[in-house]
Structure 1
Amino acid sequence: MLHLIIAEAELELVPESIRDHPAVVNYARRRKKKPEEVILDSTYHHAALKKLPDGGDRRGRPDIVHICLLNALESIANKEGLLRVYVHTRNDEVIHIKPETRLPRNYNRFLGLMESLFKKGAVPEELELLRMEKKPLESLLEGITPPDTVFVMHEEGELIRPRSFGEILASHKNPAVVVGGGFPHGDFTRPIEGKKVSLYREPLMAWTVVNEILVNFEAALGL
């Protein structure tokens, strides 16, 4: 079993400090929603993001979460019941995702789903395919597995070939946990206990890391 955590994901509702910015107000009006009900997105809120800490180069990237989750949930490992996926946000919310969840392929529909999740805490409410709770990453990790089975994807980590890393993950008796960043570039804002691993000599996009991990994990299991 492999647990995949997309950590410090840049997924959040528009912060209060920029809700009156014209870029946000106009976007919300087009969506027929209130500014506080929409997901922050650099594509639509670029001008407003400049007023936020980390706004110019990091925040407002829900597309990273969307692509990573599509790849993970549609993987063979997930279909075989060998994968659990979580999203941890920059504001310490954790999204628990049931393996049978099928996310919208359309990005705008995905944004609408995330907005409902932030509002209701679970979607759909009767099935709770996605459930959100306030929880720091450390508490999530403690509830999954011992620290010696946590691997943190990091560009300065030990360089391990993807195939070899897949074999390492598949060989663990206890569930292995892989933590990958859900942000465009840079480092985690807080230290994460675990072995730092890099799959390539250059930085890779988050969804590429997810793909390499899952494909090689599956190969090591003979799937």
Structure 2
Amino acid sequence: MLHLVIAEAELEPVPEQIRDHPAVANYARRRGKRPGEVILDSTYHHAALKKLAEGERRGRPDILHICLLNALESIANKEGKLRVYVHTRNDEIIYIKAETRIPRNYNRFVGLMESLFKNHVVPRDLGLLRMEEGRLTELINEINPDGVFVMHEEGIHTKPVDFGKILASLERPAVIVGGFPHGDFRSKIPGKKVSIYRKSLMAWVVINEVLSGFEGWVV
């Protein structure tokens, strides 16, 4: 069973310090919600993000959306050989059941995430998505993997097919992929750094390549 963790995902409600910014207030009004109930999104809140620390990398739920679509629709997940988790920049952990189908429509996905932040579980009767406070290290300890690999452009270069063979040789490997647009992890991430290409790749491309390499050995 491969455990995939999308770490430091740039997913968060609009922070309190910019909730009165016109870009945020107008967006929330159009959505019929309070500013603190909407997800921070650089597409709509670009001007407000300039007032936040690390604003250049925040407000990117679109990255997580594409990553989750790819992972949950993968052959590995359909074959019951994958578990997917999300760790956010503010140390929330999202547990995702394998049968979850993420909305393909981005706006519906954002609405789902807003409900998750509000209710901590969606839908309430099925609990397909569940959010709890927790650090990445706590999640890794909970998974208790027999190998932890951090996808990083400065890691040891390994072809996807060879990396897949390594993952397939383990019982509970964990792969960590950054859920942010650029830069490095904000904190020290436990595990062996691995690179599958000479240049940086989008997070969802990394996930696709890792899962494809893994599937070649286990499916």
TM range (shorter): over 0.9
- Please list every run of 5 or more consecutive structure 1 residues that lacks an aligned counterpart in the other structure: none
- Show the counterpart of 1:143: 142
Give the counterpart letter for 1:200 in structure 2: Y
- C-alpha deviation, 1:193, in angstroms: 1.3
Give the letter aligned to residue 9 of structure 1: A
The separation in 2 between residues aligned to 1:101 and 1:160, in whole angstroms, is 31
Partner residue of 2:214? 217
In structure 1, distance between residues paired with 2:44 and 2:165: 41
In structure 1, the partner of 2:63 is 64
Note the C-alpha offset of 1:185.
0.8
Per-residue CA distance 1:102-155 (angstroms, 9 max, x = gap):
011000000000000000000001111000000000000001124x50000111
Q: How many residue pairs were aligned? A: 219
Counterpart of 1:32 in structure 2 is 32
Alignment of 1:70-81 (within 5 A): 70-81=69-80
TM-score by length of 2: 0.99
SS in structure 2 opposite 1:143? helix
Task: Supply the AA of the counterpart residue of 1:111.
Answer: V
Three-state SS of the structure 2 residue aligned to 1:177 is strand
**What secondary structure does 2:143 align onto?**
coil
User: Equivalents in 2 of 1:98, 1:111: separation in Å?
Assistant: 18
Residue 220 of structure 1 deviates from its aligned partner by 1.5
Mapped to 1, the partners of 2:44 and 2:164 lie a distance apart of 38
Give the RMSD, CA atoms, in angstroms.
Answer: 0.7
Give 3-state SS (helix, strand or coil) of 1:183's partner: coil
Deviation at 1:65, TM superposition (A): 0.4
Give the % identical residues: 71
Amino acid at match of 1:38: V
> In the TM superposition, what are the counterparts of 1:49-198 in structure 2 within 5 Å?
49-55=49-55, 57-146=56-145, 149-172=147-170, 174-198=171-195
Quote the residue 2:23 is aligned against. 23
> Distance between the aligned counterparts of 1:203 and 1:145, measured in 2?
28
Secondary structure, aligned partner of 1:17:
helix
Runs of 4+ in 1 over 4 A off after TM superposition: none
Alignment partner, residue 6 of structure 2: 6
TM-score of the pair, normalised by structure 1 = 0.97
